[in-house]
Chains A and B, each alone.
Chain A
Amino acid sequence: MPFIPHNEAERAAMLQVVGAASLDDIFSHIPAALRTSGLRLPPALSELELLRHGGELARRNQASGELVLFLGAGAYDHVIPAAVDELSHRPEFYTAYTPYQPEISQGGLQAIYEYQTMIASLAGLDVANASLYDGATAAHEAVLLAVHHTGRRKVLVDGAVNPRYRSALRSYARNLDIELVECAAGAEGGQSAGLVDETVAGAVVQLPDFFGRLCDFSALADRLHRSKGLLIVVLNPLATAVVKSPGEMGADVACGEAQPFGLPLSAGGPYLGFIAARNSLVRKLPGRLSGATVDGQGRRGFVLTLQAREQHIRREKANSNICSNQALCALRAAMFLALLGRQGLREMAEQCLAKTAYAKSLLAAIPGCALQLDGPGFHEFVLKLPAPAERVFSELLGRGIAPGLPLGRHYPDMQDCLLICVTEKRTKAEIDRLAAELRACLGR
């Protein structure tokens, strides 16, 4: 049996010690009526057969080297340094459990502390936790934080927040005494500012927003603070290597998806939810926190701290039920940020900006195409086509390019629009090819 080391003699000796006649006998106290007669599962494979099977399955996926991705919409194709894979595969990291015994987990705990530092700083805020599941669930945790902190039940959600996140927020809020008010998408928090009053716990906006636009939410932050509400910004943390951070805009909470930091697209996960906040909110943060302290000899060490917030202590009174998080993903993100470093991350963000500007200039020049919702942006923009976006999408996909997301999937009045993403990985040749393929497809 794979992975079970016992031989016959050992099994027999152990059965004797426990006083059982056979392996079946050890279940004899379970009523027979409850026991199953056997499972129908595919026959067991050896390691070699399994890898062959894996190869067959992999070949049924579109060959990765051939598809050029201009598709983002919440999951982004970025560089991943080889060292990230190598280092995160150290068994002391990936076969470890949650660091509840700090003396033998200082490696993991220090790595989390360093990750918290970098994420909080990118968000421009005081503290960050050790990770959440993904951007959508992180947004939900931020909503819960605002509701618990203010004691109010109404939360405004801007229409330019990722539609998938908004859908998840609705799924969770439905079961709680939380009223989500969805506001029409607009610049600078759109309609939200006008709806802020003393019944509002907070407002959720996104930076860059789903259409790729950058806005300064400082005015919205002020408006919320005047009535003691919180500003929550769903953030792409890569953008704030160069862009004004939520903290600098007066936000109280930043949350979102840190998948751009060293995590492959991987069909949707595992990704990396994050949450950061001002110091005044630290005791309301969900999830694990690694804190610095000292031991009996004054040596610096790290422990999971403020655990009295969490479910294993508060039980039904906890603000969040999170236990396992995305620890190894946070480790990869920290390694990524350490390898890119201050200059490298800034350069990466600047390359996204430059390549996106180049793509915009090429594509806007195609007759019949026009930039929509244009303005300061990061690495995504909206292109209006003189044809249904789904048709163009399918055709180009068949030719090895994912030209962007057809926005009609989420916004019914945008059936002719594509959300196009250009990261540092896209070469000039690939961008030129996108323009050429689009022209050909549109007959222009």
Chain B
Amino acid sequence: MGTEGLRFTREHEWVRLEGSSAVVGITDFAQKKLGDIVFVELPETGKQLSAGEALGSIESVKAASEIYCPVAGSVGEVNSELADSPGNINKDPYGAGWIAKLTGVSSADVGKLLDEKAYQDLIAGEE
């Protein structure tokens, strides 16, 4: 799955707005840096999070990274398939590798995140 219509954070999360819900994952750049992902720590459903708060974490063999909540919201659903198949994040970071769905988000908040071009500029700078 591709990156059309997604927004991005400086910490390499992506967000897809679906009404007043937001699907969250990590970008292709992030998954490449981590390498083969071995474990994902998912948040509890129902948890209230503000922007920038830790939503969970991702471990590979040689690295670990926090996932930060991109916009304020409540955890509606988590991708429980990642428990058995954490590699989905590597294989399909924008599709089957989604991590959590937040409810009660503000589309204005999502709009304030980086668009695709701004995110590409960001990672070009980091490479």
- The CA of A313 and the CA of B58, in the complex, are separated in Å by 12
Interface check A308, CB cutoff 8 A: yes
- Which B residue sits closest to A303, measured CB to CB? B61
- The CA of A308 and the CA of B62, in the complex, are separated in Å by 6
Q: Are A314 and B64 in contact (CB under 8 A)?
A: yes
- Which A residue sits closest to B54, measured CB to CB? A317
On chain A, the number of residues with a Cβ less than 8 Å from chain B's Cβ atoms is: 8
Q: Are A307 and B39 in contact (CB under 8 A)?
A: no
Interface check B59, CB cutoff 8 A: yes
Chain B 58-100, CB-CB to A under 8 Å as 1, else 0, gives: 0111111010000000000000000000000000000000000
- Majority secondary structure of chain A interface residues (helix, strand, loop or mixed): helix
Question: Chain A contacts of B60 at CB under 8 A?
Answer: 308
- Majority secondary structure of chain B interface residues (helix, strand, loop or mixed): strand
- The CA of A307 and the CA of B66, in the complex, are separated in Å by 16
Interface check B38, CB cutoff 8 A: yes
Among B39, B41, B64, the residue within 8 A (CB) of A313 is B64
Question: Chain B contacts of A306 at CB under 8 A?
Answer: 59
Interface check A53, CB cutoff 8 A: no
Interface check A283, CB cutoff 8 A: yes
Question: Chain A contacts of B64 at CB under 8 A?
Answer: 308-309, 313-314, 317
User: Among residues 221 to 263 in chain A, which have CB atoms less than 8 Å away from a CB atom of chain B?
Assistant: none
Among A308, A314, A317, the residue within 8 A (CB) of B38 is A308
- The CA of A314 and the CA of B59, in the complex, are separated in Å by 10
A13 CB to nearest B CB, Å: 40
- The CA of A317 and the CA of B64, in the complex, are separated in Å by 10
B42 CB to nearest A CB, Å: 12
- The CA of A213 and the CA of B62, in the complex, are separated in Å by 45
Chain A residues with a Cβ under 8 A of chain B: 283, 306-309, 313-314, 317
- 3 tightest CB-CB pairs across the interface, nearest first? A308-B59, A308-B64, A313-B64
Chain B residues with a Cβ under 8 A of chain A: 38-39, 41, 59-64, 66
12 A-B pairs within 8 Å (CB atoms) are namely A283-B39, A307-B62, A308-B38, A308-B59, A308-B60, A308-B61, A308-B63, A309-B64, A313-B62, A313-B63, A313-B64, A314-B64
